[in-house]
Structure 1
Amino acid sequence: MPSKMIFINLPVADLDRSKRFYEAVGWKVNQDFTDGNAACIVVDDNICVMLLTYDFFTTFGTRPLGDTRGTVNGVYALALSSPHEVDSLVEAALQAGGTEELSPDRRAQEAEVGMYSRTFLDLDGHQWEPFHMAYPA
């Protein structure tokens, strides 16, 4: 196992539906860490998303769940290797039932610094922001 990994824990209304969504965007379910309460979605060797049923998610703390469909509770930015990879991921998310958030003002600001991003919401309203940054040579 790598020395550092990140696990993003997300509450979901329908675990099976959410697993299908994330598989459709090209990520894999790790069956070793998946059961009726949770599913481990492998983004890459160092990044996993833990999809947790609402009931199970509430066992991790005492505060109530936020409404991810009506408010932004977090933005999950994911650096990718090219604008094409950004577009491919977002298009796969849209095909799987996700929605795209558009911000023309931000796009213009990003272009000034050599960044390209798009934003999609998964089936539960969790906001993903795949991006590519063109670093100066």
Structure 2
Amino acid sequence: MTKELWLNLPVKKIPNSKAFFKTIGFSFDEEREREDMAAMKVGEKKVPVMLITENTFKNVIQHNITDTSKSSEMMISFDAESREEVDEIAQKVEKAGGTVFSKPSEIQGWMYGCAFTDLDGHRWNVLYMDMSKMSES
């Protein structure tokens, strides 16, 4: 049945979004890139997040795009190797022009994370999870 999962995310300007995500540590599959689309690779399994210009995205979905200044349709979460990496990512996000709307902090005694918006207002969550402390909370 399912062979691969990928996410499609509308962006205003591919070069700006690529620069933002490269700054915070993501890489791209240059072979899958077009003028209106870039394939960001996420995690060990290299799950693609397709950054697609808003016009192309709107044509594909045949629907309006969410106004990220007013609402969110989803939050994309990814893990970090350590608390320090969470802190580093938060700093890189701000340096790259994003907004950390939830500063790095401990969550439920076994997670440490922060949440941010990218240049187009999409919400992201990065978490370090200490599974050895999970049962304590």
User: Is the structural similarity TM-score above 0.5?
Assistant: yes
Partner Cα distance (2:75, 2:10) in 1: 14
Match of 2:128 among 120, 128, 132: 132
Partner Cα distance (1:128, 1:86) in 2: 12
| Percent identity of paired positions between Structure 1 and Structure 2 | 28
Q: Which amino acid aligns with 1:121?
A: T
Partner Cα distance (2:114, 2:8) in 1: 22
- The answer to whether 1:14 aligns with 2:16 is no
Residue equivalent to 1:80:
80
TM-score scaled by structure 1? 0.85
Change (3 A) 1:26 1:103: closer
Divergent runs of 4+, >6 A = none
Root mean square deviation of aligned Cα: 2.1
Structure 2 residues without counterparts, runs of 5 or longer:
none
Residue equivalent to 1:36:
35
TM-score scaled by structure 2? 0.85
> What are the within-5 Å matches in structure 2 for residues 1-137 of structure 1?
5-46=4-45, 47-102=47-102, 110=107, 112-136=108-132
Q: Which amino acid aligns with 1:117?
A: G
Task: Confirm or deny: 8 A CA contact 2:99 2:118 kept in the other structure.
Answer: yes
Aligned length: 131
